[in-house]
Amino acid sequence: MSPALSVDLFLYWLGIAAVAVNALTGVLDAQRKEMDLVGALLVGTATALGGGTVRDLLLDRNVFWVVDQTYLLTSFAAGALTFFIARRFNLPERLFLIPDAVGLALFTALGTQVALQWHAPWLVASLMGMTTGVVGGVLRDILCNDVPLIFRKGELYASAAWLGALTVIGLGQLGVTPMSAAWGGMAVTLLLRLLAMRYHITLPAFRSR
């Protein structure tokens, strides 16, 4: 297998995994709103495909799930499985924050690599990676009528994604292979996010009045 093909294959499976994990978080969130099966699948699918769709539209690429039906099938399968498991077992409410962080890390690294392959300038690529990572979750939170996680206080969310994206770009600049750069970026995003959730790390904010 040529190295180039191998990277493409790696990014492909990364995408499938990210879609499955994000569909899961969407359906879990829909559970709390007592949506029915179709509603939950829709929220799951919007969560799974939203970020990559925005990225592809902005880069003027073919939208990834329109040309390859596998993504949609993955999203539906992961969503339906989650639906029936979550219906049977009473899962703790905060459980979905871990897959959400994993999905954020996967999609951010993936989106950054795709933008770089598309020869976007680095600042644009980093924003595109962050966008791919966060948009799905924002859509989910809007559809479920929650305050988007991204705007809750005391939790690095967009920042974790952005630093992960910058890590991917920086490692690539240092000559690291795209695959290792992606793993590095994912580790940074996931670690920052988990640490922020655990210790409520914050950035400088406007003073309260």
Binding site for its own copies (CB under 8 A): 30-31, 33-40, 42, 45, 53, 57-60, 62-63, 65-66, 69, 72-73, 83, 86-87, 120-121, 123-124, 127, 143, 145, 147, 150-151, 153, 158-159, 162, 202-208
Q: Over the range 48-77, which residues count as b (16 or more CB within 10 Å of their CB) and which as e?
A: bbbbbbbbbebbeeeebbeeeeebeebbee
Closest distance to its own copies from the beta carbon of 205 (Å): 4
Residue whose CB is less far from its own copies, 142 or 194: 142
CA count, 13 A, side-chain hemisphere, 117: 18
Closest distance to its own copies from the beta carbon of 4 (Å): 24
Residue whose CB is less far from its own copies, 44 or 183: 44
| CA–CA dist 90, 18 (Å, integer) | 24
Closest distance to its own copies from the beta carbon of 209 (Å): 8
| CA–CA dist 122, 128 (Å, integer) | 10
Single out the residue of 150, 142, 111 nearest to residue 129, CA to CA. 111
Residue whose CB is less far from its own copies, 99 or 146: 146
Q: Which two tokens stand for residue 24?
A: 């899961």
Exposed/middle/buried for 123, CB within 10 Å: 0-12, 13-18, 19+? Answer: exposed
Residue whose CB is less far from its own copies, 10 or 76: 76
Closest distance to its own copies from the beta carbon of 31 (Å): 5
Q: Which two tokens stand for residue 108?
A: 């951010």
Residue whose CB is less far from its own copies, 50 or 103: 50
Closest distance to its own copies from the beta carbon of 47 (Å): 14
